[in-house]
Amino acid sequence: MEEKSKTQQIDPEAQAGEGWFHLDVHPQVFFISAGLILFFVIITLVFQKHMEVVFQQMQSGISDYAGWFFIWTVNIVLVFILSLLAGRFGNIRLGGPDARPEFSTLGWFAMLFSAGMGIGLLFYGVAEPMFHYVANPHVEAGTTESARMAMDITFLHWGLHPWGVYSLVGLSLAFFSFNKGLPLSIRTAFYPLFGERIYGWTGHVIDILATVATLFGVATSLGLGVQQVNAGLDHLLGIGQSPTIQVFLIGGITMIATWSVVKGLDKGIRRLSEINITMAGLLALFVLLVGPTLFVMNALLENIGYYFQYLPKLSTWNETYERSEWQHGWTIFYWSWWIAWSPFVGMFIARVSHGRTIRQFILGVLLVPTFITFLWITIFGNTALFIEMFGGGGISRVVQENIPVSLFVLLENFPLSAITSTLGIIVIITFFVTSSDSGSMVIDIITSGGNPNPPVLSRLFWAIMEGVVAAVLLVGGGLVALQTATITTGLPFAAIILGMCVALYRGLSEYGAPQEFTIGERPATEFKVRTKPVLNKTFGRRRLW
Amino acid sequence: MLQDIFFQYRGACMMLFQREGESVSFRGTAFLVHPEGYFLTAGHLITGNQELMVVPTEETENFPPVRTETVAPIPVEVRQMDRERDLALLKFKQKIEISMPDHVISAAEQIPTGNAVACMGFSFGYYQVYNQLIKQAVICSRLSSGNGTRIFLFDSLVHDGNRGGPLINLYDGRIIGVVGGRFELQEILSRQLGKTSDLPIKTDVSYAVSIDHAVELMEKEGINVI
């Protein structure tokens, strides 16, 4: 079985060499996934009201009864990943001792960041600290202490824990695929659990679920996201909000994402991610320089210090004695969300991390993005807090009413807001594109049976499919229902990622330990040995001389 | 270090036999390189169309007996042969479960002259002495043969039974070459020297064909190399 061959070499040249009409599909995974997606879209369109209620009840039930489990999971994962960073496996290279990174370090960071968080940060960088400033369960609202706490809670939700989960899933997939020769697919993470059965229907079902969940995750985010982009555009230009505009936006984003994914990882996705990060960086630099620079610079250090001082307390807080439900809508929602997204993001991270050592991987996937996230949230969140606390105010009111426009309201407090808001819109759109193209790339890899360089036709199919599903759900309704359904997959996957910690540790221990060649049982007949006279010089002339 | 390498590779190296009627005769060493049952050995060990077999070592005793009269071999077939590079790729004829270390094949071009290496094999197999030997050496030169084959010379005198065995980098325990035999100037210069090839040009140096050529052979067979 070819899938089981011992290694997975990534050849960047392979991308260029593929023909347009070459279609390398895993038939069961590809066609059943496509069929299921169609089925779910139809069901959702027909029974959307009912579906929405059912999934919301499910999500709320999960938060009620399994909140503690999510909190345990993300903390265990973080401790596990930090122990790998410091431990003896740090020098193991993903792809074997001779593997070298496929992408430059900057390009790698850009892709990690764009796929991992991207769009959410643009909306919540301003909005989330504002929400916690005006209401949080720890300290009195509207006070200095609540400003500090607001930043701390936001850091908790966007910091080490989500990136720890991504690191674990990414590292498991990369290690078992690149170092142990299993296919680059979600089923691979289950190898220690199911063994060879991952090559059969057990594995197919896992990959089908991952494909369907990833597609709905990306498509519903795209559908809901364009509503936010539309709200932003309306705020800026007064163009109004309508499904027609939103469908056009989906069309535009899908076209760029399709171009990016067809061009491939290096020429499309990496380049777009770099442009994206550069523009986001320029926007952040602008806000930093024209905004309350000193306040932000002071806050950065204080926020990080506060985060680390209170990390054990906040990350294990469970609302036990308060008996409130604040955490359900925030922390548990976030943990569930990050975990539900981790197969997709983890897979993408694995794909782009071939050739890094485990230590480089964890530094790059856990610590660097966390720091960039902190920097971003501090620049935008603290600027908003500054305006709210010491300036004209008004941002918290806008945030409560309309999250998507909060970034633009913030930018209006500074000069050149027409230009910066336009840049803001462009950054939002490119972040959408980079989420969408990496999502399609992941689906392409899974549905082609774990081929790290999937065929162009399949890339085209899934990128367009995402746009079509988003547009159909937008017009027909059901975006929220399906998104909630996607998030509910966080619960089973939380159990799975705990299993992944054990499997990865076991795999790394075996890999790092001295191994020997052994061969299994075999029938053998005894033969008598005939002694030959000792050969003089050689037998059979060696042509190489 | 040598203990670890011996421990790691003792199961990989097997004696290569050729069937002759109801008995078998020793040809040299072959070693496992792929979990689907692929072996590498020196091409010149295989002549004619006789059935080939390998015998794994099963050292149940600390000090095994010096001579053995019978063996229990497993049939193998030739899958690829490169006479120019003096390499052969063999495969078990039957399905046998194999577990092996990861990444045993090295990138040979990175191995510098002076690098410490070890070779393993059944040095005295022709005498029915089937004990596996490990020998230590250093790469004393890298050269390209008359037909462009990349060769490592190492300062150890191998015996006939070592041919086809692995040359292993001592620093990372990975295979860098397939042992071809002693480096004999008579053989190289035979055209110039003509029939006077018994000139007393003796060396204490042996050679191995770079594993890169073997990787090409494995890729030709369609198997991935880890």
- Measured between beta carbons, the chain A residues lying within 8 angstroms of B10 are 516-517
CATH assignment of the domain containing A30: 1.20.1740
Query: Helices A160-174 and A368-377 meet at what angle, rounded to 10?
Result: 150
pLDDT band at A539 (very low <50, low <70, confident <90, very high): low
In a domain, A1, yes or no: no
| pTM listed for this prediction | 0.83
Phi and psi torsions of A8, nearest 5°: -130, 95
Please give the structure tokens belonging to residue B8: 């790691």
- pLDDT of res. A19: 40
**Element (DSSP H or E) covering residue B66:** none
Record: contact B74-A524, CB cut-off 8 A: yes
* Residue A361 clears pLDDT 80, i.e. is over it: yes
A515 inside 8 A of chain B by CB = yes
Closest residue to B145, CB basis, from A181, A517, A545: A545
A6 inside 8 A of chain B by CB = yes
- Measured between beta carbons, the chain A residues lying within 8 angstroms of B99 are 515, 517-518
Longest distance between any two alpha carbons in chain B, whole Å: 50
Mean per-residue pLDDT over chain A, rounded: 86
pLDDT band at A310 (very low <50, low <70, confident <90, very high): very high
- Measured between beta carbons, the chain B residues lying within 8 angstroms of A510 are none
Closest residue to B126, CB basis, from A532, A537, A540: A532
In a domain, A150, yes or no: yes
Please name the residue that has the structure tokens 């094949």: B105
Q: What is the mean pLDDT of residues A311-336?
A: 89
- Measured between beta carbons, the chain A residues lying within 8 angstroms of B44 are 538-542
* Residue A408 clears pLDDT 80, i.e. is over it: yes
Taking the C-alpha atoms of residue A309 and residue A316, their distance in angstroms, rounded to an integer, is 13
Taking the C-alpha atoms of residue A400 and residue A398, their distance in angstroms, rounded to an integer, is 5
Phi and psi torsions of B214, nearest 5°: -70, -35
A523 inside 8 A of chain B by CB = yes
- CA B116 from centre of chain: 18
Taking the C-alpha atoms of residue B130 and residue B67, their distance in angstroms, rounded to an integer, is 7
Q: Which domains does chain B have, with CATH numbers?
A: 2-101 (2.40.10.10), 108-216 (2.40.10.10)
In a domain, A142, yes or no: yes
* Residue A534 clears pLDDT 80, i.e. is over it: no
- pLDDT of res. A7: 40
- Buried b / exposed e over A297-331, threshold 16 CB at 10 Å, is eebbeebbebbeebbeebbebebeeeeeeebbebb
Record: contact A532-B26, CB cut-off 8 A: yes
Return the SS3 of A17. helix
Q: Which residues span the domain enclosing A414?
A: 22-512
- Give the closest residue to A198 by CA, choosing from A81, A26, A442: A26
Share of chain A above pLDDT 90, in %: 32
Record: contact A527-B22, CB cut-off 8 A: yes
8 A C-beta contact, residue A384 and residue A129: yes
8 A C-beta contact, residue A244 and residue A267: no
- Alpha-carbon torsion, ordered A119, A122, A124, A126, to 10 deg: 180
Measured at the CA of B116, the angle between CA B113 and CA B120, to 5 degrees, comes to: 120
In a domain, A388, yes or no: yes
- Measured between beta carbons, the chain A residues lying within 8 angstroms of B226 are 6-7, 96, 181
In chain A, the number of structural domains is: 1
Most confident residue range from A241-250, A452-461, A483-492, B170-179: B170-179
* Residue A8 clears pLDDT 70, i.e. is over it: no
Q: What is the mean pLDDT of residues A42-57?
A: 83
Closest residue to B224, CB basis, from A6, A539, A542: A6
Over its length of 226 residues, how does chain B's per-residue pLDDT go in tens digits? Answer: 788 899 889 999 999 999 988 889 899 999 999 999 999 999 999 988 889 999 998 766 678 777 778 888 999 999 999 999 999 999 999 999 888 888 899 988 889 999 999 999 999 988 888 889 999 999 999 999 888 999 999 999 999 899 999 999 999 899 999 999 988 877 777 655 665 555 556 788 999 999 999 999 999 998 877 6
Q: Which residues contact A70 (CB under 8 A, 6 or more apart)?
A: A332, A335, A336, A339, A490, A491, A494
In this structure, the strands spanning B166-169 and B70-71 are: unpaired
Q: What is the mean pLDDT of residues A487-502?
A: 87
Most confident residue range from A146-155, A256-265, A341-350: A146-155
Record: contact A530-B23, CB cut-off 8 A: yes
Instruction: Return the beta strands (E) in B57-172 as ranges.
Output: 70-71, 74-82, 87-92, 98-99, 116-121, 133-144, 150-154, 166-169
In a domain, A543, yes or no: no
Q: What is the mean pLDDT of residues A512-516?
A: 80
In a domain, A14, yes or no: no
**Element (DSSP H or E) covering residue A21:** none
In a domain, A533, yes or no: no
In a domain, A409, yes or no: yes
8 A C-beta contact, residue A97 and residue B172: yes
Record: contact B10-A516, CB cut-off 8 A: yes
DSSP output for A407-444: HHHHHTTSTTHHHHHHHHHHHHHHHHHHHHHHHHHHHH
* Direct distance between the N- and C-terminal alpha carbons of chain A, in angstroms, rounded to an integer: 39
* Residue A23 clears pLDDT 70, i.e. is over it: no
pLDDT in tens, A95-150: 988 888 989 999 999 888 888 776 778 878 888 999 999 988 889 988 999 999 99
Share of chain A above pLDDT 70, in %: 94
- Give the closest residue to A444 by CA, choosing from A22, A5, A162, A99: A22
pLDDT in tens, A204-252: 888 888 888 888 888 888 887 888 788 878 888 888 888 899 899 999 9
Query: Helices A105-116 and A160-174 meet at what angle, rounded to 10?
Result: 110
Taking the C-alpha atoms of residue A11 and residue A13, their distance in angstroms, rounded to an integer, is 5
- Measured between beta carbons, the chain A residues lying within 8 angstroms of B85 are 544
Q: Which residue has the higher pLDDT, A1 or A386?
A: A386
- Give the closest residue to A86 by CA, choosing from A363, A355, A273: A363
Q: What is the mean pLDDT of residues A30-42?
A: 88
pLDDT in tens, A239-283: 888 889 989 999 998 999 898 888 888 788 888 888 989 999 999
- Give the closest residue to B51 by CA, choosing from B24, B29, B28, B70: B24
ipTM: 0.83
β-strand partners of B182: B206
Measured at the CA of A336, the angle between CA A330 and CA A341, to 5 degrees, comes to: 125
* Residue A4 clears pLDDT 50, i.e. is over it: no
